[in-house]
């Protein structure tokens, strides 16, 4: 009560007269104008910004989940490709070994054939040389006997 009487007395800092109500009215008018023209749009802008941030966070989480899923799928595809490549490599190795065996067998057969031909030629030459030697044996024997006996043998 002391405060009220001090405010209403002549020596107070604030005089309550008719200007107080005019100032209060001007304050309320300015408040509602500012609320409508400034505060409302700013609040709506802040809310819209928060909604966009939340949407962006949600989108980021979805994209991270999709990236993780794609990464897992890619890893599975890479494993499958490696397995397939390993199988192909083994098939090619087996085919290479089979072709190598065929080539070696063909070379062996040709070598055996050439060897048989060479042996046949050598046998013919040896028979020819033996025949010549047998034909010359009596003549040589006669010459050796003549030299040993130092006279002509008939």
Domain ranges of the chain: 17-149
pLDDT digits (tens, 9 = 90+) for 70-99: 999 999 999 999 999 999 999 999 999 999
**pTM (predicted TM-score):** 0.41
Mean pLDDT, rounded, for 115-128:
90
- Cα–Cα distances (Å) from 139 to 133, 148, 153, in that order, read 10, 14, 10
pLDDT of residue 138: 83
Q: How confident is the model at residue 139 (pLDDT cuts 50, 70, 90)?
A: confident
Q: How confident is the model at residue 135 (pLDDT cuts 50, 70, 90)?
A: confident
pLDDT of residue 11: 57
Q: Taking a C-beta distance cutoff of 8 angstroms, is the pair 146, 138 a contact?
A: no
- C-alpha neighbours within 13 Å on the C-beta side of residue 51: 6
């Amino acid at each position: 009560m002391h405060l009220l009487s001090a405010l209403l007395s002549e020596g107070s800092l604030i005089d309550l007269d008719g200007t107080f109500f005019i100032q209060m009215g001007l304050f309320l008018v300015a408040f509602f104008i500012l609320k409508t023209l400034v505060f409302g749009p700013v609040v709506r802008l802040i809310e819209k910004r928060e909604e966009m941030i939340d949407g962006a966070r949600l989108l980021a989480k979805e994209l991270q989940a999709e990236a993780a899923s794609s990464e897992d799928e890619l890893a599975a595809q890479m494993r499958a490709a490696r397995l397939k490549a390993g199988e192909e490599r083994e098939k090619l190795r087996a085919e290479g070994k089979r072709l190598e065996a065929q080539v070696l067998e063909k070379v062996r057969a040709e070598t055996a054939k050439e060897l048989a031909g060479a042996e046949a030629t050598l046998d013919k030459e040896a028979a020819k040389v033996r025949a010549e030697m047998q034909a010359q044996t009596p003549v040589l024997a006669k010459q050796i006997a003549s030299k040993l006996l130092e006279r002509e043998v008939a």
